[in-house]
Amino acid sequence: MNSYMEQTENFVLHTYNRFPVVFESGQGVYLKDTDGKEYLDFAAGIAVMGLGYHYPGFDEALKGQINKLIHTSNLFYNVPLGDAAEKLIRVSGMSKVFFTNSGTEAIEGAIKAARKYAFLKGGKPGYEIIAMNHSFHGRSVGALSVTGNPHYQEAFKPLMDGVRFADFNDLESVKAQINEKTCAILLETVQGEGGIYPVKKEFLEGVRALCDEHDLLMILDEIQCGMGRCGEMFAWQAYGVKPDIMTSAKALGCGVPVGAFLLGEKAAANSLVPGDHGTTYGGNPFACAAAAKVLEIFEEQDIVGHVREVAPYLEQKLDELVEKYDCLLARRGMGLMQGVVIGNGKKVGEVVNAALAQGLIVISAGSDVLRLVPPLIIEKKHVDEMAEKLAAALN
Ligand SMILES: *Cc1c(COP(=O)(O)O)cnc(C)c1O
């Protein structure tokens, strides 16, 4: 294991303090490291591996596409692109989709679509976006500009102009930032990196009403909380509040890099046109074959229904642990996106390391939250195993 870690540290730019584990293979909801040690995976590659490892039929679909064609460019049509798009439009109820390679690129596209919408309406540039404090939308400069975390931004200023921040779940603070230059309000339906905070229904409805009143576009970032994780295909569907633009990525390709931004009818008809936006890789046949297969499996196997069935059991088991251990202060979350606040002198990093030693992968969110975002295919027995291992780690 050491030689792989050393080789990586010698040649890969040091932008991550990695845990000292080298993973080599996976099966279902388990990973194996190069020493043959097995881990129960409650991180899923940061909410990416919704279907776990080697879900029946998924590898075969990828291999089948590799045998045909993996790239063509967007100057031509390809076979899986329309299929993936149709399926994603069907489950989201949105109108049009643009495929990207990552979450941050999906946010870039959403920002551009919102600004173009306002530009077409007002005839001049200079429009502003209201984003939330403690949000996370990605690391490219546009997405970083709407990420409400000064620590991530500081060294890279000046960032994109025209961004104002409001407090998540505080409608008055949003209202206070609206002016004649505002074109969109952007938020995560469930804040992920910021510490697993689900949006409050009144707040989401209030933002929707403000957007309708001022003809602003409501942009929901569903990159982490979407794709079934919160018990609906997209978390906003649980609230009955529909965005004008939404972003997806992470579990959309279940390990194959693919993201997307989707526009509702109004935004689709009045924003980006040929020449406004592009990507070399985005929507390529390989990525789209992955997304199409993921969406097919979700539908045929009712993955969302399974999440709804197993999530209450995860909540119950976590609540029991919070009850029992003084260093666990609270649990919050939605579906299979759960956070446990760590305190009373314990650091979340210590808990993550102790869990790893017990053969359990969990990660952190924010400075003091233990994040559990397992593959969506976990069963009750995996929740039991997680609870035992986490208890052993805490002991
Ligand atoms: C991970 C994440 C992103 C960024 O996605 P990348 O693929 O890392 O660029 C954006 N928004 C949210 C909510 C995320 O969780």
Per-residue model confidence as pLDDT tens digits over 282-335: 999 999 999 999 999 999 999 999 999 999 999 999 999 999 999 999 999 999
Q: Relative to the CA of 191, which ligand 1 atom is closest?
A: 13
pLDDT at 70: 98
Q: Which residue stretches of 93-125 are H helix?
A: 103-122
- Percentage of the chain lying above the pLDDT 90 cut: 100
In the three-class reduction of DSSP (H, G, I as helix; E, B as strand; rest coil), residue 224 is classed as: coil
Residue 246 CA to ligand 1 centre (angstroms): 13
DSSP state of 338: E
Q: Ligand 1, atom 7: nearest CA belongs to which residue?
A: 103
Atom of ligand 1 nearest to the CA of 104: 9
- Structure tokens given for 311: 């999530």
The Cα–Cα gap between 303 and 376 comes to: 7
How far is ligand 1, taken at its centre, from the CA of residue 36, in Å? 31
CA distance 365 to 131: 19
Q: Specify which residues 129 forms β-bridges with.
A: 163, 184
Ligand 1 atom at minimum distance from 249 CA: 7
Q: What is the mean pLDDT of residues 242-259?
A: 98
30-33 and 23-27: which strand pairing? antiparallel
- The residue whose CA has the least distance to atom 11 of ligand 1 is 137
Q: How far is the CA of 309 from the centre of ligand 1 (A)?
A: 26
Whether the model pTM is above 0.75: yes
- For residue 219, report the distance from its CA to the centre of ligand 1, in Å: 14
CA of 388 to the centre of ligand 1 (A): 30
Pick the atom of ligand 1 nearest to 143's CA. 10
pLDDT at 383: 98
How far, in Å, from the CA of 395 to the mean position of ligand 1?
33
pLDDT digits (tens, 9 = 90+) for 47-106: 999 999 999 999 999 999 999 999 999 999 999 999 999 999 999 999 999 999 999 999
Lowest model confidence (mean pLDDT) among 62-66, 150-154, 233-237, 282-286: 150-154
In this prediction, what percent of the chain has a pLDDT beyond 70?
100
Model pLDDT, residue 243: 98
pLDDT digits (tens, 9 = 90+) for 173-214: 999 999 999 999 999 999 999 999 999 999 999 999 999 999
* Best residue for ligand 1 mutational test, from 250, 254, 256, 373 (most atoms within 8 Å of Cβ): 250
One of 3.10.450.50, 3.40.640.10, 1.10.3720.10, 3.40.50.300 is the CATH number of 69-300, namely 3.40.640.10
- Supply 133's token pair: 């404090």
When pLDDT is cut at 50, 70 and 90, the band that residue 230 belongs to is: very high
> For residue 193, how far is its CA from the centre of ligand 1 (angstroms)?
9
Atom from ligand 1 closest to the CA of residue 46: 1
Q: Kindly tell me if the per-residue pLDDT of 6 is higher than 80.
A: yes
Which residues are CB-neighbours of 149 under 8 A, at least 6 positions away?
Answer: 134, 135, 136, 193, 194
* Res 251 pLDDT > 90: yes
Q: Ligand 1 centroid vs 247 CA: distance in angstroms?
A: 9
Query: Which of 48, 102, 104 has the most ligand 1 atoms within 8 A of CB, as the residue to mutate?
Result: 104
CA 14 to ligand 1 centroid distance, Å: 20
Closest atom, ligand 1, to C-alpha of 224: 15
User: What residue ranges line ligand 1, CB within 6 angstroms?
Assistant: 102-104, 107, 136-138, 188, 192-193, 221, 223-224, 249-250
pLDDT in tens, 345-374: 999 999 999 999 999 999 999 999 999 999
pLDDT digits (tens, 9 = 90+) for 306-317: 999 999 999 999
Q: State how far Cα 318 lies from the chain centre.
A: 22
**Dihedral sign of CA atoms 56, 364, 310, 383 in order:** positive
Mutate to test the pocket of ligand 1, among 48, 136, 225, 256 (most ligand atoms within 8 A of CB): 136
Give residue 101 CA to ligand 1 midpoint distance, Å: 11
Q: Among 136, 168, 223, which residue has the most ligand 1 atoms within 8 Å of its CB, making it the best to mutate? A: 223
Q: Which fold has domain 2-55+302-394?
A: Aspartate Aminotransferase, domain 1 (3.90.1150)
User: Any idea where the domains of the chain sit in the sequence?
Assistant: 2-55+302-394, 69-300
Mean pLDDT, residues 31-52 taken together: 98
- What crossing angle do the helices spanning 285-300 and 303-324 adopt, rounded to 10°? 80
Using 50, 70 and 90 to split pLDDT, how confident is the model at 388?
Answer: very high
> What's the pLDDT at 1?
76
d(CA 260, CA 10): 34
Question: Between β-strands 96-100 and 128-132, what pairing exists: parallel, antiparallel or unpaired?
Answer: unpaired
Q: Which of 329, 305, 331, 309 is nearest to 318 (CA)?
A: 331
